[in-house]
Structure 1
Amino acid sequence: MTSRVGTAVQRHITGLIAAAAALGMAATLTACGGGEGNDVTLKLVAADYGDSAANTSQKYWDGLTAAYEKDHPGIKIDVTVYPWTSVDAKVKKMVDSGHAPDMAQIGAYADYAAAGKLYPVSDLLNVPTQADFLSQLSDAGEVGQTQYGMPFAASTRLLFYNKKLFKAAGIEPPTNWSQLAADARALKRDGVEIPYALPLGPEEAQAETMIWMLSGGGSYTDDVGSYAIDSKQNIKTFDFLKDDLVGKGLTGPTAPGKLNRAAAFAAFAKGEVGMLNGHPTLMKTAAKKGVDYGTVELPGPDGPAKSTMGVADWMMAFKQNGHRKQIGDFLNYVYDEKNVLDFSREYNLLPVTTSASATMAATRSDAKLWPFLKTLPDAELYPGGKTSWASVSADVKQQIGSAVSSRGNPAAVLGRLQVAASAAESAE
């Protein structure tokens, strides 16, 4: 999602006056009528942001829906939470079998929007709620100039470093690539097992790839939104990774193409990693294990990177069951400032609304999130508005690790990815 400042939030909502009788004619999974005055059960499938049974997202949704149902007799919200490893597939299976949920909170929306299965956001939310989304996130939720994806949670990336290991090695956190490589060499000399963790394994290689592309002045796409995976900047970036980090033995015993993000984060929390790129949830994991960490802006070739990667997860509403009015009313409640803040604080994520962001920026107890919050306005997101992105992302996950292997050729690997991406884009 590469768009920056969108115009979607300026459009007025025009769809909330549709006849309630039309809602009553829609087929539903629950066999409940959709007209006003009838009991309605809305089905929501959501992703789990918790890291244990104690803070599973199911508890968040159970509390939120209980409060909502108390003030809305006749409306029931049935929420099922799945792990991130399966939630997208679960929703796809439901949709493909003709049993779409009313709402889904998952990782991508564009395929469903392109297939005509989603309500436009302007048909659901009132003007104040829609206008409260951060502008670059609203814009990133568009397909064909119409917003279908509602941002639900956001995060950005910073460089995490282990203060104890850095002090022992007598080094300071880096501001550019040569300093990063020098710090990694010093950490290795001091016996650190993984001076720099480079997770290019299939779990989330597309994220680490984009972080490094941005730090080198490139990205997945160019200024007009076309894929530019094999740009000169990106080739230079992966040449640096291959020659100056991986080739020098500075990324640990596991080949980057086999190292997943979860394993890299776990190793950092054990004190085995000197530095790595991370998102806000790593703070809680590291602190729980007693790791004294610091964060700095991502280093670039000659100084701090001009941009970092932002990630947004999405809420969407399916048209299949009707219930547009009831769905819209519930989602207006979901995006109330208090609820947005409660969720963001529970899971160390960034608010997706202007009002909640302003409150977080002014609240001292949220200070640990301020460095991430500061980078969000200029962060660049995946090109998720492209229906081709899912296949491009899958290709990156499978192939990018080979670019930095001992026999790897970054230009060749990036070139193959570019050819496949261009073909996928042409087929949109």
Structure 2
Amino acid sequence: MKTSTRAVLGIALAAVVLVAAAFWLGRGGDSAGRTVLRMRIWDASFVPVYRDSLAAFERVNPDVRVEVTVVPWASYPQKLRLDVSGGTADDLFWTNAFEDYADAGRLIPIDGSIGDAAGWDASAVAQYTRGGRLWAVPQFVDGGTAVFYNRDLLAAAGVDPGEVGSARWGSGDGDEFTGLLRRLAAVAPYAYNAGGDFQSLELPYLGSAGGRFQDGERFVFDEPPGVVAFSYLRGLIAQGLAPSAADTNGSGDFAKTAFLQGKMALFQSGTFNLAQIAEQARFGWGVAMLPSGPAGRVSTNNAIGVAGNAATRHPDAVRRVLAWLGSAAGNRFVGENGTTVPAVLADQPIYREYWSRKGIDVRPFFDVLTGPRIASGGGPGFPAALKAIEPILAEMFLGRTPVPDALHRARAAAERAAHP
């Protein structure tokens, strides 16, 4: 074959590949003539939930089909950023850090034609509002943070479950919680899960010490209340009342696994772990309120929203899906099997009723939210800031860096990452 002939064939083949790739990435319909949309999430356990919800949507919108794709959380933020900037992102996608996309005009604004914000959880609406506009349809909220306890280990230590929720942490005579943990440490390998868990531990302790993570978009967690909060957590690890940071720094599931194995007496976490604990725990357990700190009992309430890609080829269909997912009829599916708390207010009783039928009292996750809350943070560059903070705090929890120094370094790293 002549060189020129091979060149022509090569160009033709390359053109076919490019056309096929373009068709695949931008495909708009299926064999039935329906518009096909892609929706990206990071938790595979929600696939059946969305499959049921979207099947109901498709019955009244037969011209649209929605495919759910899963990108694991470990690579989700980075991949989404690359895909959005490259124009290959899905038509809809979960988000919990949306500010950069909103500021760059990458998201479809959520207006009254999509849903009524008054019908959604107020904290979720506030979380996804920027510049006076809403940028994602709230899907579910975590509720507040509470403490799962192992009834058998508490009984062995002579600890009444009521003591867990009434205990206070602090310094000197005001530190009832450490004393309680010492009693539990006598009967369990681990008394508690103190360590580097941003939502379930760091934020509640920071808030109950009277501190804040951010002031506007400026990081302030290294102020004196932050030193008090992180010093307390580090102290629990140093006293052997919690797993070594060498175990927990590298595994976000180490503490949960220890609790499920009956090796940990108290596990502080949120509703996002409730279903797994209910399914896998082979011992009696319950849920108690958070311990109170110098500034009281403080929690946060994070939400997950679904955003519409402004670059979609099918904006009308995307808006219809967003409207469905934000409606009582579409959102109820996330609460029906106790998966999580629906963001639609009218659907939230479904979640509580599910767990009530199971004999599980979930009130501590909600009662804590009647008090003060600490904001979970946000703003442009927030994911990069958290990533910059993590290794510095990991060294602090290992005891290699004094708490004040580590917090100052972490704050400076967060500012550089968020505002390069």
TM-score by length of 1: 0.80
Question: Shift in Å at residue 234 of structure 1?
Answer: 0.8
Structure 2 counterparts to residues 114-133 of structure 1, below 5 A: 114-122=103-111, 125-126=114-115, 128=116, 130-133=117-120
AA partner of residue 294 (structure 1): G
Alignment partner for residue 48 of structure 1, among 43, 51, 76? 43
SS of the residue 1:67 aligns to: helix
Alignment partners' CA distance in 1, 2:250 and 2:191: 14
Q: Work out which of the two has the higher radius of gyration on C-alpha atoms and give 1 or 2.
A: 2
The RMSD of aligned alpha carbons is: 2.7
Question: Shift in Å at residue 254 of structure 1?
Answer: 5.0
Is the 8 Å Cα contact of residues 161 and 293 (structure 1) preserved in structure 2?
A: yes
Question: Shift in Å at residue 103 of structure 1?
Answer: 0.5
C-alpha distance 259-216 of structure 1, shift in aligned 2 (>3 A): farther
Tell whether 2:183 aligns with 1:186.
Answer: yes
Structure 2: gaps spanning 5 or more residues? 1-22, 170-174
Question: Shift in Å at residue 218 of structure 1?
Answer: 1.4
Alignment partner for residue 363 of structure 2, among 355, 370, 373? 370
- Which residue matches 1:221? 214
C-alpha distance 302-231 of structure 1, shift in aligned 2 (>3 A): closer
Structure 2 counterparts to residues 23-172 of structure 1, below 5 A: 29-32=25-28, 39-48=34-43, 50=45, 57-122=46-111, 125-126=114-115, 128=116, 130-155=117-142, 156-172=144-160
- Which residue matches 1:390? 383
SS of the residue 1:108 aligns to: coil
Is the 8 Å Cα contact of residues 194 and 273 (structure 1) preserved in structure 2?
A: yes
Structure 2 counterparts to residues 399-418 of structure 1, below 5 A: 399-418=392-411
Structure 1: gaps spanning 5 or more residues? 1-26, 51-56
SS of the residue 2:301 aligns to: strand
TM-score by length of 2: 0.82
SS of the residue 2:220 aligns to: coil
AA partner of residue 196 (structure 1): Y
AA partner of residue 133 (structure 1): W
Question: Shift in Å at residue 343 of structure 1?
Answer: 0.8
Is the 8 Å Cα contact of residues 193 and 273 (structure 1) preserved in structure 2?
A: yes
C-alpha distance 171-302 of structure 1, shift in aligned 2 (>3 A): farther
Alignment partners' CA distance in 2, 1:330 and 1:283: 28
Alignment partners' CA distance in 1, 2:63 and 2:87: 25
Is the 8 Å Cα contact of residues 212 and 237 (structure 1) preserved in structure 2?
A: yes
- Which residue matches 1:231? 223
Is the 8 Å Cα contact of residues 43 and 101 (structure 1) preserved in structure 2?
A: yes
C-alpha distance 207-280 of structure 1, shift in aligned 2 (>3 A): closer
Question: Shift in Å at residue 382 of structure 1?
Answer: 1.9
Structure 1, 309-318 or 205-214: larger mean CA deviation = 205-214
Alignment partners' CA distance in 2, 1:103 and 1:161: 38
AA partner of residue 152 (structure 2): K
Question: Shift in Å at residue 303 of structure 1?
Answer: 7.9
Question: Shift in Å at residue 44 of structure 1?
Answer: 1.1
Alignment partners' CA distance in 2, 1:403 and 1:254: 9
Question: Shift in Å at residue 286 of structure 1?
Answer: 2.7
Question: Shift in Å at residue 82 of structure 1?
Answer: 3.0
C-alpha distance 100-82 of structure 1, shift in aligned 2 (>3 A): closer
Alignment partners' CA distance in 1, 2:400 and 2:74: 31
Question: Shift in Å at residue 308 of structure 1?
Answer: 0.5
Alignment partner for residue 323 of structure 1, among 314, 318, 338? 314
- Which residue matches 2:276? 285
- Which residue matches 2:191? 195
Is the 8 Å Cα contact of residues 211 and 226 (structure 2) preserved in structure 1?
A: yes
AA partner of residue 144 (structure 1): G
Alignment partners' CA distance in 1, 2:77 and 2:411: 25
Alignment partners' CA distance in 2, 1:164 and 1:67: 44
AA partner of residue 395 (structure 1): A
Question: Shift in Å at residue 250 of structure 1?
Answer: 1.3
- Which residue matches 2:20? none
AA partner of residue 72 (structure 2): P
Question: Shift in Å at residue 425 of structure 1?
Answer: 5.0
C-alpha distance 271-73 of structure 1, shift in aligned 2 (>3 A): same
SS of the residue 2:88 aligns to: coil
Identity of aligned residues (%): 20
Question: Shift in Å at residue 239 of structure 1?
Answer: 1.8
- Which residue matches 1:252? 243
Alignment partners' CA distance in 2, 1:111 and 1:207: 25
Question: Shift in Å at residue 237 of structure 1?
Answer: 1.2
AA partner of residue 168 (structure 2): N
Is the 8 Å Cα contact of residues 195 and 233 (structure 2) preserved in structure 1?
A: no
Is the 8 Å Cα contact of residues 137 and 326 (structure 2) preserved in structure 1?
A: no
- Which residue matches 2:412? 419
SS of the residue 1:383 aligns to: coil
- The aligned length equals 381
SS of the residue 2:213 aligns to: coil
Question: Shift in Å at residue 314 of structure 1?
Answer: 2.1
